[in-house]
Structure 1
Amino acid sequence: MAFWLAAFATAALAAGDLSKQTPVEVTVDLGSPGKHEFTPNKLRFETGKLYKLVLRNASNDPHYFTSHGFSQMIWTRKVQVTQSRDGKTITLAEFKGAIREIEVYPGQSAEWWFVPVAAGRVNDLRCGITASDGRTHADHGMTGEIVIE
């Protein structure tokens, strides 16, 4: 009986330990050839869960993933710059601390590991890169909404 109580207590403690959580993976495509858009452009997260937001840029242009409101509602565990080599994802660099904007170059990706700590809705997700016509990618429709429940 003591064994089962100890096992249950350990499991209960691990459930609250964010370092033990398996991240919920969410992928956002930043643009596509000839289009400035986030796909999907509406993101939904829950407080207290660990997420790995994979930002992929398959377009020919660099893109920003910028949302100051979102950055104030989360705790960033890390951001990783990744690259695919021989079918495996390799981490090239890792950043920690407050992150407000991530730029992903053409054909590359980044992973943003975070835990939402406040609920709310923000509509300031945008790409501020200036296109050849002088307008920003956001002006061309590269905007989005983030909801944290």
Structure 2
Amino acid sequence: MRQRYPMFSRMMSSFVVGMGMFLAIALINPSPAQAAVTQAGPQLARIDARDLHISLGDRQGQLMFYPNHLDLVVGQTYRLILDNPSPEKHYFSAPNFAAVSWTRKVEAAGVEVKGTVRELELKPNAKAEWVLVPEKPGQYDLECTIAGHAEAGMTGRLTIHPRSIDSV
């Protein structure tokens, strides 16, 4: 069978081979911008979280958060380390705070949960970690939503401050 356009076929073959070589070189030697993105990924994954410890109640059954006020800064990564030393279950409920915070993960009892979180239930002697980044300044209410607990004093406040030059 005779080729109708032999010159065109040779040009296309050369083009395909040339593009393949270009792509191979680009993958082996990324541009400075690509290299920066490639190197930033591992650095972002290692951003240190600031640990904040919060107890839901105490061993005597007091209905309080310890501490009951937290100050956070927009853009800072936090690890809320929650524990419930009391003899009954409690909720760490702050839905408005959760709505303006990016949750990286919640970890408890060997299980890691990712995605939107609104409240955490901690059974007696349970522990959990909530890793998050606050995104919007404001004051947000915290409470235990078990009937009678908030009324007895199991409430708190989470304040997210704008990022300042001093906090960078």
Range class of TM-score, shorter chain: 0.7 to 0.9
1:69-110: CA deviations, max 9, x gaps? 10111000000004xxxxxxxxx1111111000000101110
Write the distance in 1 (CA, Å) between the matches of 2:82 and 2:115. 18
Larger of the two Rg values belongs to structure: 2
- Name the structure 2 match of 1:105: 123
Alignment of 1:138 onto 2:159: no
Distance 1:140 1:78, change over 3 A: same
Check the 8 A contact 1:64/1:129 in 2, yes or no. yes
Write the distance in 1 (CA, Å) between the matches of 2:55 and 2:40. 33
- Name the structure 1 match of 2:5: none
What SS does structure 2 have at the residue aligned with 1:59?
coil
Q: Post-superposition shift, 1:14?
A: 4.7
Number of equivalenced pairs: 125
Check the 8 A contact 1:59/1:107 in 2, yes or no. yes
Alignment of 1:57 onto 2:74: no
Alignment of 1:31 onto 2:57: yes
**Structure whose residues are more often strand by fraction:** 1
TM-score, normalised with respect to structure 1: 0.77
TM-score, normalised with respect to structure 2: 0.69
**Which structure has the higher relative contact order (CA within 8 Å, separation 6+)?**
1
Query: Identity across aligned pairs (percent)?
Result: 40
What SS does structure 2 have at the residue aligned with 1:113?
strand
Moved over 4 A (4+): none
- Name the structure 1 match of 2:45: 19
Distance 1:121 1:18, change over 3 A: farther
**Structure whose residues are more often helix by fraction:** 2
What SS does structure 2 have at the residue aligned with 1:36?
coil
Compute the RMSD of aligned alpha carbons.
2.1
Q: Post-superposition shift, 1:20?
A: 2.2
Distance 1:18 1:117, change over 3 A: farther
Unaligned runs of 5+ in 1: 1-5, 83-91, 131-135
Query: What letter corresponds to residue 29 of structure 1 in structure 2?
Result: S
Unaligned runs of 5+ in 2: 1-31, 162-168
